[in-house]
Amino acid sequence: MKKKEKSHMLRELAEYLVTFGKINGADEVEMIIVDGHEFGVDVRFGEIENLLEAGSRYLSLRVIKDKKTAFATSSDLSKETLQYLLKNAIKRAALANPDEFSGLPPLSLKKINISSLRLYDPEIPELSSEKKTALALETEKIALDDRRITNSHGASFETNETKFILANSNGFLQEYDLTLCSLSLGLQAGETDNRVEDSWFSSKRYFKELESTEEIAKKAVERTVRLLRPKKTKTQKVPVIFEPMMTSWLLGFLFVCVSGVSIYQKASFLADKLGQRIGNEKVTIFDDGLIPGKLGTRPFDSEGVSCQKTPVVEKGILKNYLCNTYAARKLKIKSTGNAVGTGVGPNNFYLKPGNRRPKEIISSMDKGLILIRTIGHGLNPVTGDLSRGAFGLWVEKGEIAYPVSEITISGNLGEILNQIEMVGNDLDFHTPLAGPTIKIQELTVAGQ
């Protein structure tokens, strides 16, 4: 089937089911169809290890009857199955309790020019599997030519093309297409019992924007070998510098704490703090779904609410919680266009960069830790407490002295936001949660 025909058919299916649901007694109906095509190749030591290619699709639906909600999803898109699921959902809705906050959002009149968001790169579907394989092979080869690298987890190249169609009984019917390409590499250095490992990746909507094989290989090598011959450190409180990926990680934790769902569930230490100071002057955070070409960009969210730029924290003051329609109604505010599936998720959620160069930030530190990776769980949004296994670089007199491992860092997000001393200028939207290098006054680093 041709692409256009298929798109037309899926759109019609979504519309048909909305009508079918209404006829069968639902007050409100919402249909999402996701139709995707994926390709992935893993190479290791110069040979293809896995090659995967497939098309797949699924539909998810929501019905509301008498303010009672039911959801369903299916990867089987036959009309018979979908009619059965839809009827069953309407029947099942009766088992829930009425919830005055339930329901679809009103039809948004805001028109967003989808093509200006640069979500779809026509070059990606045209890339041959030979070319994609060659890029993965080349990336790994550059790294393996470095004699400090002793083993490889392999390199992977992946592409995705996804069509997203949303129809609802309030008259919403829109779709958009996304492309994504990713190139990644994982490495080990050192001998068996003293081995270290790390990786690097680049992931973009446009093939041209992907980091080069050389850049990815060099970063993966650099990140891996800098961990060699780690020392342990004594338990102490010291200043800690977060590399951009670590700032992203911290922002991921903060996102959970400002998500409207955590707020109405009282599962966040930031509940009831709107308008209050939660961080120092250096903390300005936005959620922006409309930055062209970025990974967290989309015209509308999974309920059809237009995306927007929402100030979350401005100079330390908590300005907005991020909501889907349900959480917004619970909190008596407006949806911020953050619906993802049946919950709330980030668009481009980022910390506004400052003007310090990362090097400058390091040289400002007399003694402390550069946090480069964490492993494990240990985030508690209810309290803001965090505690994680960590890898880092020890800094003495403004210079990197040696790597440290088998340490943990612990602290409290609320305290960290008040202790951000410096903010770097190196924001690059490597992931939808993005931040520059930051320096925190003090955290507990536990070791010996």
d(CA 185, CA 213): 10
Task: Give least dist CB 170 to another protein, A.
Answer: 19
Of 19, 50, 276, 363, the one binding another protein by CB under 8 A: 50
Q: How many CA atoms lie within 13 A of 347 on its CB side?
A: 30
Q: How many CA atoms lie within 13 A of 93 on its CB side?
A: 28
**Assigned token pair, 1:** 């089937």
**Assigned token pair, 372:** 């480069």
Give the count of residues interacting with another protein (CB under 8 A): 76
Which residue in 209, 217, 192 sits closest to 139, CA to CA? Answer: 217
53: left (phi over 0), alpha (psi -120 to 50) or beta: beta
Q: Does 389 bind another protein (CB under 8 A)?
A: yes
Q: Which stretch binds another protein (CB under 8 A): 55-63, 108-116, 278-286, 302-310?
A: 55-63
Q: Does 267 bind another protein (CB under 8 A)?
A: yes
Exposure pattern of 92-115 as b/e (b: 16+ CB <10 Å)?
Answer: bbeeeeeeeebbbbeebeeebebe
User: Which string of x and - marks every residue 407-436 that binds another protein (by CB under 8 A)?
Assistant: xxxxxx------------------------
The full length of the chain comes to 448
Q: Does 109 bind another protein (CB under 8 A)?
A: no
Task: Give least dist CB 112 to another protein, A.
Answer: 29
Task: Give least dist CB 29 to another protein, A.
Answer: 15
d(CA 3, CA 14): 17
Residues in 320-349 that interact with another protein by CB under 8 A? 342
d(CA 310, CA 234): 42
User: Which string of x and - marks every residue 176-195 that binds another protein (by CB under 8 A)?
Assistant: ------------x---xx-x
**DSSP alpha helix (H) spans, 42-184:** 79-93, 123-126, 129-144
- Closer by beta carbon to another protein, 312 or else 409: 409
- Closer by beta carbon to another protein, 307 or else 339: 339
Of 207, 269, 300, 350, the one binding another protein by CB under 8 A: 269
Q: Does 93 bind another protein (CB under 8 A)?
A: yes
Sequence-separated (6 or more) residues with CB below 8 Å from residue 314: 284
d(CA 58, CA 21): 18
Task: Give least dist CB 185 to another protein, A.
Answer: 14
Of 116, 276, 363, 383, the one binding another protein by CB under 8 A: 383
d(CA 440, CA 241): 6
C-beta of residue 427 within 8 angstroms of C-beta of residue 244: yes
Q: Does 276 bind another protein (CB under 8 A)?
A: no
Q: Does 12 bind another protein (CB under 8 A)?
A: no
Of 11, 37, 92, 334, the one binding another protein by CB under 8 A: 92
Q: Which stretch binds another protein (CB under 8 A): 42-50, 120-128, 294-302, 419-427?
A: 42-50
d(CA 301, CA 323): 11
Of 46, 66, 81, 222, the one binding another protein by CB under 8 A: 81
Task: Give least dist CB 378 to another protein, A.
Answer: 4
Q: Does 444 bind another protein (CB under 8 A)?
A: yes
Q: Which stretch binds another protein (CB under 8 A): 43-51, 109-117, 171-179, 279-287?
A: 43-51
**DSSP alpha helix (H) spans, 333-431:** 358-363, 413-418
Q: Does 89 bind another protein (CB under 8 A)?
A: yes
Q: Does 448 bind another protein (CB under 8 A)?
A: yes
Task: Give least dist CB 243 to another protein, A.
Answer: 18
Burial of residue 442 (CB within 10 Å: 0-12, 13-18, 19+) is middle
CA R_g for the chain? 24
Task: Give least dist CB 387 to another protein, A.
Answer: 4
Q: Does 9 bind another protein (CB under 8 A)?
A: no
Q: Which stretch binds another protein (CB under 8 A): 7-15, 81-89, 107-115, 138-146?
A: 81-89
Bridge partners for 47 per DSSP? 44
- Closer by beta carbon to another protein, 4 or else 208: 4
175 C-beta neighbours (distance < 10 Å), count: 17
Q: Which stretch binds another protein (CB under 8 A): 205-213, 276-284, 293-301, 372-380?
A: 372-380
Residues in 235-254 that interact with another protein by CB under 8 A? 235
Q: Does 168 bind another protein (CB under 8 A)?
A: no
Which residue in 34, 32, 5, 8 sits closest to 18, CA to CA? Answer: 32
Q: Does 266 bind another protein (CB under 8 A)?
A: yes
Burial of residue 162 (CB within 10 Å: 0-12, 13-18, 19+) is middle
> H or E stretch including 215?
helix 213-225
Task: Give least dist CB 59 to another protein, A.
Answer: 10
- Closer by beta carbon to another protein, 120 or else 326: 326
